[in-house]
Chains A and B, each alone.
Chain A
Amino acid sequence: MSGLRQHTAIVLLALVAGTLLRAAEPDMVCVSNGVFRPLFRSLTDAKEISVKSFLLDVEPVTNAKFLEFVRANPRWQRSQVKQIFADEKYLLHWAGDLELGTNALPEQPVVWVSWFAAKAFAQWQGKRLPTLAEWEFAAAASPTQPDGTKDAAFQREILRWYSATKPEVMPVVGKGAKNFWGARDLHGLIWEWISDFNSATVSGDARGDTGLDRQLFCGAGAVGAKDVENFPAFMRYGFRSSLKAAYTVHNLGFRCAKDL
């Protein structure tokens, strides 16, 4: 019995130590085990999706970092990129292939990037894009709690951003408050690509009228949704469902994640 207990303790210690060591990835924070409750579900979808602990970039990827990437990977430079992987506005605001210029400050989040480009950047760093469940789980945290969905002040703050006029000049990264996990700027700066953005909507669904296909339409969709007050989440779902992988958008960037 005591042997078993000792064994368990050692295993636990090893797990904790391992987690701490691996969490030492610079500029990433560890988001711990949790549960993501999807805003929309079909009849066969799980009510809860468990999110295993993972690492998430503290901040969105900046122009400066993306410049390093295209320097090392010429096929992702503006003049080289293949049409199927990025539309014609890719890195529109940069001065040139390897030049940021005055419209793209090094510390601003990179935008005008396609899903393919974001994915390639992540791979280049030995990382990946976060999944929808991971991103939403991490972004639900307020500055003080892992689940900020019931924190009225936090929700008001997010709503304020969603309804505010966008500043003329994109702010730089890292100015937002750290959330419970230590990540910044999940709200308030840009929209972010996720790995499974193309799972967020189904119109003309395989199963016809199973509930999945009324999920994204204003009004009707809200009836079937878990949390009708979560307006920002509706907006994110709506936005993602309008995207295609080669699209680039003036306020759409990304950050990376990594397995523990």
Chain B
Amino acid sequence: MKSPLILLLLAVAVSSCSTQKTAQVLPPCCRPLAAAANYTDKSLFQLESVWTSDANRKVKLGVLRGRPQIVAMFFASCQFTCPLTVSDMQRIEAALPENLRTNTGFLLISFDSERDTPAALKVYRAKRELSNQNWTLLRGEPDDVRELAALLGVIYKRDANGDFAHSNVITLLNAEGEIVFQQPGLNLPADEIISKLKTLSSP
């Protein structure tokens, strides 16, 4: 928990001499829960469902309000495409200009309500070196996962081994939780989603 954070801070310190807002952007775990009443009609943050983070904290999606989010669904024991999707997201993260990187969230939501406990997600975070600052990992109840997948247009099915066959899509939410762009597929270039992100941050 501590070392990736320190590494990240070091990385930030080394890579950039300009003044950055890193210190002001609290990681999702520590931000106050935003008021629920005034989300837009298209906002995914309207969902009432309660999710658990890898830090074992209960949150609603509204907690992510305030910066654009790059979202994908996955499961930690996935041997096939999820690692690629996460790599795609990491490539986007790495390719972002500094000011955008500190102002973009990366959200992974598990299909696997049974096996992806907070502890399992925590292991996954460490294994994939996902920074606390930018990345949120959530698990939820099967019904809520089904509902969120429906909103993201993700199709999935649990097979006899307890694994999940699923469609691959990376979704860009704006700071209000509205879907502004979706990129289906794997191993995709980061350019398009980054240019969308740029248009979001400079309206």
| Contact between chains at B155 and A201 (CB < 8 Å) | yes
B81 on interface, CB distance cutoff 8 Å: yes
| Contact between chains at A202 and B167 (CB < 8 Å) | yes
B146 on interface, CB distance cutoff 8 Å: yes
B90 on interface, CB distance cutoff 8 Å: no
| Contact between chains at B160 and A207 (CB < 8 Å) | no
- When distances are taken between beta carbons in the complex, the residues of chain B under 8 Å from A119 are 147
- One of B43, B154, B156, B165 near A84 (C-beta < 8 A): B43
Closest approach, in angstroms, between the C-beta of B75 and any C-beta of chain A? 10
Given contacts A82-B46, A84-B41, A199-B157, contact A206 B147 (CB under 8 A): no
Q: For the complex, give the distance between the alpha carbons of A62 and B99 in Å.
A: 54
- When distances are taken between beta carbons in the complex, the residues of chain A under 8 Å from B155 are 198-202
Contact bitstring B163-182, A, C-beta under 8 A = 1, else 0: 11111100000000000000
Q: For the complex, give the distance between the alpha carbons of A198 and B145 in Å.
A: 11
Closest approach, in angstroms, between the C-beta of B79 and any C-beta of chain A? 10
Interface positions of A from 176 to 224, Cβ below 8 Å from B: 195-196, 198-207, 210, 212
| Contact between chains at B157 and A245 (CB < 8 Å) | no
| Contact between chains at A206 and B151 (CB < 8 Å) | no
| Contact between chains at B80 and A204 (CB < 8 Å) | no
Closest approach, in angstroms, between the C-beta of A205 and any C-beta of chain B? 6
Contact bitstring A132-173, B, C-beta under 8 A = 1, else 0: 000000000000000000000000000000000000000000
B42 on interface, CB distance cutoff 8 Å: yes
- When distances are taken between beta carbons in the complex, the residues of chain A under 8 Å from B166 are 202, 205-206
B161 on interface, CB distance cutoff 8 Å: yes
Q: For the complex, give the distance between the alpha carbons of A210 and B78 in Å.
A: 15
| Contact between chains at A204 and B167 (CB < 8 Å) | yes
Q: Is the interface on chain A under 10, 10 to 19, 20 to 34, or 35 or more residues?
A: 20 to 34
| Contact between chains at A210 and B41 (CB < 8 Å) | no
- When distances are taken between beta carbons in the complex, the residues of chain B under 8 Å from A200 are 155
Q: For the complex, give the distance between the alpha carbons of A246 and B166 in Å.
A: 20
B153 on interface, CB distance cutoff 8 Å: yes
- One of A45, A84, A201 near B159 (C-beta < 8 A): A45
| Contact between chains at B185 and A198 (CB < 8 Å) | no
Interface positions of A from 29 to 75, Cβ below 8 Å from B: 42, 44-46
Given contacts A84-B46, A199-B155, A199-B157, contact A206 B150 (CB under 8 A): no
Closest to A44 in B: B159
Given contacts A45-B159, A207-B165, A212-B165, contact A83 B41 (CB under 8 A): yes
B194 on interface, CB distance cutoff 8 Å: no
A94 on interface, CB distance cutoff 8 Å: no
Given contacts A84-B44, A245-B151, contact A210 B146 (CB under 8 A): no
Closest to A199 in B: B157
B100 on interface, CB distance cutoff 8 Å: no
A115 on interface, CB distance cutoff 8 Å: yes
- One of A44, A202, A204, A245 near B150 (C-beta < 8 A): A245
| Contact between chains at B151 and A199 (CB < 8 Å) | no
- One of A115, A206, A245 near B167 (C-beta < 8 A): A206
| Contact between chains at A205 and B42 (CB < 8 Å) | no
A175 on interface, CB distance cutoff 8 Å: no
Interface positions of B from 18 to 50, Cβ below 8 Å from A: 41-44, 46
- When distances are taken between beta carbons in the complex, the residues of chain A under 8 Å from B161 are 44
Contact bitstring A102-127, B, C-beta under 8 A = 1, else 0: 00000000000001100100000000
| Contact between chains at A207 and B81 (CB < 8 Å) | yes
List, sorted by A's number, 23 A–B pairs whose CB atoms are closer than 8 Å. A42-B159, A42-B165, A44-B161, A44-B163, A46-B159, A82-B42, A116-B147, A119-B147, A196-B157, A198-B149, A198-B150, A198-B154, A199-B157, A201-B155, A202-B155, A202-B166, A203-B167, A204-B167, A204-B184, A205-B166, A206-B82, A207-B165, A245-B151
Task: List the 4 shortest-distance A-B pairs measured between CB atoms, nearest first.
Answer: A245-B150, A46-B160, A199-B157, A44-B159
**15 further A-B pairs in the complex, CB-CB below 8 A; given A44-B165, A46-B160, A83-B41:** A45-B159, A82-B42, A84-B44, A198-B150, A198-B154, A199-B155, A200-B155, A202-B157, A202-B167, A204-B184, A206-B81, A206-B167, A207-B80, A244-B150, A244-B153
